[in-house]
Structure 1
Amino acid sequence: MTNTDAALERSRSRLVVRTEPVDELAPLIPRADPRHPLLWMRRGEGIVGLGETLRIETSGVDRVADAAAVWTELSADADIDDRVGLPGTGLVAFGAFAFADESASTSVLIVPELVLGRRDGRAWVTRIALAERPAETDADADDDADLAGAGTEDDADAAASGSLEIPEPAPRRRVPRVTFEPGAVPPERYEAAVAEAVRRIDGGELAKVVLARELVGELHEEDGLRATIHRLAEDYPDTWVFAVDGLIGASPETLVRVDHGTVSARVLAGTTSRGAGEASDRERAVALTESAKDRAEHALAVASAVKRLEPHTARLDASPEPFTLQLPNLWHLATDLKGTLGDGSSALDLVRAVHPTAAVAGTPRRVALSVLAELEGFDRGRYAGPVGWVDGDGDGEWAIALRCAQIDVDGTVRAYAGCGIVHDSVPADELAETDMKFRPIVEAFGG
Structure 2
Amino acid sequence: MSLNGARLSLEAKIQRLRGAEHCEPLVQLIESVPALPLISWLASQTLYPRIYWHGRDKEDEVAAIGAAADFLFDDPVSDQQLANVYQHQRDLSSNHNIRYYGGVAFDRDVSGWPEFGRAHFVLPRMELRRSGKDFQLILNLNFEGRDRQTECDAALAALEQLQKPRPLTPPGKVHLLGRSEYPEFPRWKQLVEQVTAGKFNQHTPKVVLSRLSQLEINEPIDPWMVLACWQGRSPSSFQFGFQFSPERTFISCSPERLYRRRQQELFTEALAGTTVRGVSVEEDNQLAQQLLDDSKNSHENQLVRQHIVEHLAPLSSYVGADESPKIFKLPHIQHLHRAIRAQLKPCINDFQLLQALHPTPAVGGLPRDSALSFIRQQEGYNRGWYAGACGYLNKHESEFSVAIRSALIEPGRLNLFAGAGIVTGSDPEAEWQELDNKLATILSILVEL
- Normalising by structure 1, we get a TM-score of 0.84
- Alignment deviations for residues 337-392 of structure 1 (CA, whole Å, 9 cap, x no partner): 1222213223333112211111111111111111222331111111111111112x
Q: Quote the Cα distance in structure 1 between the aligned partners of 2:175 and 2:99.
A: 32
Residue 400 of structure 2: aligned partner: 398
Q: Quote the Cα distance in structure 2 between the aligned partners of 1:67 and 1:285.
A: 41
**Letter paired with 1:433:** E
Q: In the TM superposition, what is the alpha-carbon distance from 1:91 to its structure 2 partner?
A: 1.5
Q: Taking every aligned residue pair, what percent have the same amino acid on both sides?
A: 25
- Alignment deviations for residues 109-138 of structure 1 (CA, whole Å, 9 cap, x no partner): 0221111111222222211122255xxxxx
- The 8 Å contact of residues 262 and 341 in structure 1, kept in 2 or not, is answered as yes
Distance 1:415-1:280 versus aligned 2 partners, 3 A rule: same
Q: Quote the Cα distance in structure 2 between the aligned partners of 1:166 and 1:389.
A: 23
- Structure 2 stretches lacking a partner, 5+ long: 1-23, 244-248
Secondary structure of 2:202's aligned partner: coil
Residue 67 of structure 1: aligned partner: 82
Residue 163 of structure 1: which of 146, 159, 162 is its match? Answer: 159
Q: Quote the Cα distance in structure 2 between the aligned partners of 1:73 and 1:219.
A: 44
Secondary structure of 2:182's aligned partner: coil
Q: In the TM superposition, what is the alpha-carbon distance from 1:181 to its structure 2 partner?
A: 1.7
Matches for 1:46-445 after TM superposition, within 5 Å: 46-59=61-74, 62-78=77-93, 80=95, 90-105=97-112, 106=117, 107-132=119-144, 150-152=146-148, 156=152, 159=155, 163=159, 167-175=163-171, 177=174, 179=176, 181-200=179-198, 204-218=202-216, 224-245=222-243, 246-391=249-394, 393=395, 395-408=397-410, 410-445=411-446
Secondary structure of 1:438's aligned partner: helix
- The 8 Å contact of residues 64 and 97 in structure 1, kept in 2 or not, is answered as no
Kindly report the root-mean-square deviation, in angstroms, between the aligned alpha carbons of the 2 structures.
Answer: 2.6
- The 8 Å contact of residues 201 and 424 in structure 2, kept in 1 or not, is answered as no
Q: Quote the Cα distance in structure 2 between the aligned partners of 1:394 and 1:441.
A: 34
Structure 1 stretch displaced more, 434-443 or 320-329: 434-443
Distance 1:132-1:424 versus aligned 2 partners, 3 A rule: closer
Distance 1:228-1:162 versus aligned 2 partners, 3 A rule: closer
Q: Quote the Cα distance in structure 1 between the aligned partners of 2:33 and 2:199.
A: 56
- The 8 Å contact of residues 53 and 128 in structure 1, kept in 2 or not, is answered as yes
- Alignment deviations for residues 261-285 of structure 1 (CA, whole Å, 9 cap, x no partner): 2111122100001112111111000
- Alignment deviations for residues 297-321 of structure 1 (CA, whole Å, 9 cap, x no partner): 0000111111122222222221231
**Letter paired with 2:402:** I
Q: Quote the Cα distance in structure 1 between the aligned partners of 2:121 and 2:32.
A: 25
Q: Quote the Cα distance in structure 2 between the aligned partners of 1:63 and 1:407.
A: 28
Q: Quote the Cα distance in structure 2 between the aligned partners of 1:373 and 1:101.
A: 11
Secondary structure of 1:195's aligned partner: helix
Residue 21 of structure 1: which of 32, 40, 49 is its match? Answer: 32
- The 8 Å contact of residues 175 and 228 in structure 1, kept in 2 or not, is answered as yes
Q: In the TM superposition, what is the alpha-carbon distance from 1:424 to its structure 2 partner?
A: 0.4
Q: Quote the Cα distance in structure 2 between the aligned partners of 1:157 and 1:74.
A: 22
Is residue 31 from structure 1 mapped to residue 41 from structure 2 by the alignment? yes
- Structure 1 stretches lacking a partner, 5+ long: 1-12, 83-89, 134-149
Q: In the TM superposition, what is the alpha-carbon distance from 1:207 to its structure 2 partner?
A: 0.8
Residue 87 of structure 1: aligned partner: none
Secondary structure of 1:32's aligned partner: helix
Q: In the TM superposition, what is the alpha-carbon distance from 1:92 to its structure 2 partner?
A: 1.4
**Letter paired with 1:31:** W
Q: Quote the Cα distance in structure 2 between the aligned partners of 1:72 and 1:411.
A: 40
Count of matched residue positions in the alignment of Structure 1 and Structure 2 = 408
Q: Quote the Cα distance in structure 2 between the aligned partners of 1:161 and 1:320.
A: 55
Structure 1 stretch displaced more, 175-184 or 380-389: 175-184
- The 8 Å contact of residues 242 and 250 in structure 2, kept in 1 or not, is answered as yes
Q: Quote the Cα distance in structure 1 between the aligned partners of 2:329 and 2:149.
A: 50
Distance 1:190-1:44 versus aligned 2 partners, 3 A rule: farther
**Letter paired with 2:39:** I
Is residue 40 from structure 1 mapped to residue 36 from structure 2 by the alignment? no
Distance 1:338-1:167 versus aligned 2 partners, 3 A rule: farther
